[in-house]
């Protein structure tokens, strides 16, 4: 299917069949046209396509959107503009960790567990969500993909399909109004405020996710994201700390909430710190920098100055 002037054109197939051309002249043609169904007055909501010659990709193209415009969102009361689901996922580990460290002693076994899960679930984001599925930098066996999908879900940063869609939009529209977490709107906006408040329609950049939709592992992860995330992020670490050395509360505070906090914040630093401070060794056209600090906490993902246009 191709799109020409917002009109769907199907190759070798039309939405309404006219049948064979009439053979009884103008009267037959008129009768045939009268039998055609009237065009729908409903707005077109089916996805079309748009080709991007710079990246050789096909992107979504829609004429309607469930997302509100920035003007419409600004007219809403403050509490209605907040994305409460994302806000709770961000601030629950922060508040829980700050409270828990005052009452729960940290055991060395729990610290090791927290560090191991931090590395594993961070790898799910860096090696899976980012390099494998967002940028398609390499290919992986289905078993490796399944492990990375589970690890990435445990980071509580959304499903791979959701995460990769926004990240591809970020790279395609970097530093523009359609960049979902553009640093031009401020350091803290790029860091996490863009998740606290609902994104306007203008910041829903069109990107191709047909490869993600065709991946059965990612479809399964997207459908069962919440139970997968809870099992790997909470159930497994708590089971290990409780049965292993009898430290349920330490496992909850340090190996679950604390680890979740550090994994999320390290990812957020790539969107903010890596676009705010560092060295620009490749190009000064965009705000991306090579940040050693960010690289250390994100398995070298902070070295992103080469990334925005080249690897998108």
Higher pLDDT, 167 or 306: 167
Confidence class of residue 189 from pLDDT cuts 50, 70 and 90? confident
pLDDT at 80: 87
What is the distance, to the nearest Å, from the Cα of residue 81 to the centroid of all Cα atoms in its chain?
20
Residues 100 and 41: their CA atoms lie apart, in Å, by 57
- Confidence class for position 276, pLDDT limits 50, 70, 90: low
- Which residue, among 133, 135, 156, 61, has the nearest Cα to 308 in the 3D structure? 135
Q: Which residues, at least 6 apart from 175, have a Cβ–Cβ distance to it below 8 Å?
A: 182, 183, 184, 286, 287
In this prediction, residues 157-185 reach a mean pLDDT of 86
Question: Where do the structural domains in the chain lie, given as residue ranges?
Answer: 2-61, 70-297
Average pLDDT over residues 211-220: 97
Q: pLDDT tens digits for 66-96?
A: 567 777 877 888 888 899 999 999 999 999 9
pLDDT value at residue 188? 86
SS3 content of the chain, % helix, strand, coil (to 5): 55, 5, 40
* pLDDT reported for residue 191: 86
Residue 181 contacts residue 170 (beta carbons within 8 Å): yes
Is the per-residue pLDDT at 308 higher than 70? no
What pLDDT shows up at residue 293?
A: 58
Predicted local confidence at residue 291, as pLDDT? 57
In the predicted structure, residue 237 carries a pLDDT above the cut 70: yes
Q: Which two tokens stand for residue 294?
A: 């960010």
Tens digits of per-residue pLDDT, 99-108? 999 999 999 9
What's the mean per-residue pLDDT of the chain?
76
Contact 311, 135 (CB under 8 A): yes
Q: What pLDDT is stored for residue 253 in this prediction?
A: 98
pTM of the predicted structure, to 2 decimals? 0.71
pLDDT of 155 > 80? The answer is yes
């Amino acid at each position: 299917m191709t799109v020409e002037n917002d009109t769907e054109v199907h190759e070798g197939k039309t939405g309404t069949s006219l049948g064979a051309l009439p053979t009884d002249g103008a009267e037959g043609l008129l009768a045939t046209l009268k039998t055609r169904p009237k065009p729908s007055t409903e707005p077109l909501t089916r996805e079309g396509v748009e080709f991007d010659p710079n990246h050789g990709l096909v992107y979504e193209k829609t004429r309607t959107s469930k997302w509100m415009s920035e003007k419409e969102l600004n007219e809403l009361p403050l509490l209605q503009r907040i994305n409460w689901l994302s806000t709770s996922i961000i601030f629950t580990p922060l508040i829980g960790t700050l409270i828990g460290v005052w009452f729960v002693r940290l055991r060395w076994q729990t610290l090791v567990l927290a560090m191991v899960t931090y590395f594993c679930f961070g790898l799910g984001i860096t090696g899976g969500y980012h390099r494998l599925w967002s940028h398609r930098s390499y290919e992986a066996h289905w078993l490796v993909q399944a492990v990375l999908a589970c690890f990435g879900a445990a980071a509580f940063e959304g499903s791979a399909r959701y995460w990769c869609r926004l990240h591809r939009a970020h790279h395609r529209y970097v530093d523009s109004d359609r960049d979902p977490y553009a640093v031009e709107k401020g350091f803290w906006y790029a860091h996490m405020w863009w998740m606290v408040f609902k994104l306007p329609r203008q910041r829903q950049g069109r990107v191709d996710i047909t490869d993600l939709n065709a991946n059965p592992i990612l479809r399964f992860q997207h459908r069962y994201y919440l139970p997968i995330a809870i099992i790997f992020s909470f159930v497994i670490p708590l089971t290990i700390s409780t049965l292993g050395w009898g430290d349920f509360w330490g496992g909850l505070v340090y190996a679950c909430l604390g680890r979740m906090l550090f994994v999320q914040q390290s990812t957020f630093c790539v969107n903010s710190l890596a676009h705010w401070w560092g060295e620009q060794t490749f190009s000064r056209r965009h705000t991306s920098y090579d940040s050693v600090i960010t690289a250390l906490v994100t398995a070298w993902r902070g070295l992103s100055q080469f990334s925005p246009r080249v690897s998108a």
